[in-house]
Amino acid sequence: MNARAILSRTAALVAVAVLGGLVALSGVALMGDLGGGTTTVVRTSPSPVAAAPVVGNNGLSVREIYSSAASGVVQITSTSGSADNPSGSPVSPGQTPAQPQQALGSGFVIDKAGHIVTNYHVIEGADQIEVSFSNRDTMRATLVGSDPSTDIAVLRVDASPRGLTPLEFGDSGAVQVGDPVVAIGNPFGLARTATAGIVSAVQERTITAPNGYPIDHVIQTDAPINPGNSGGPLLNQRAQVIGVNSQISTAQGANGNVGIGFAVPSNTVKAVVAQLVSTGKVDRAFLGISGSTVTEELARVFRLPVDAGVLVETVGDGTAAAKAGLKAGSDTTVVAGESYTLGGDLIVAVGGKRVASLEQLRDLLADHKPGETVKVQVYRGSKSMTVDVKLGRQPAQPQG
DSSP string, 338-364: EEEEESS-EEEEETTEE--SHHHHHHH
Task: Give 318: exposed, middle or buried? Use CB within 10 Å, 0-12, 13-18, 19+.
Answer: exposed
147, 149, 151, 216: the catalytic one is 151
106, 146, 172, 230: the catalytic one is 230
Using alpha carbons only, what angle is made at residue 74 by residues 71 and 79, rounded to the nearest 5 degrees? 165
Percent helix / strand / coil, the chain, rounded to 5: 15, 40, 50
Return the CA Rg of the chain.
22
Task: Give 192: exposed, middle or buried? Use CB within 10 Å, 0-12, 13-18, 19+.
Answer: buried
- Is 151 in the active site? yes
N- to C-terminal Cα separation, the chain: 24
Which helix (H) or strand (E) is 322 found in, with range?
helix 320-324
115, 121, 217, 368: the catalytic one is 121
- Is 121 in the active site? yes
Residue 130 to residues 74, 141, 234, 298: CA-CA distances in angstroms?
Answer: 10, 6, 22, 52
- Is 230 in the active site? yes
Active site positions, annotated: 121, 151, 230
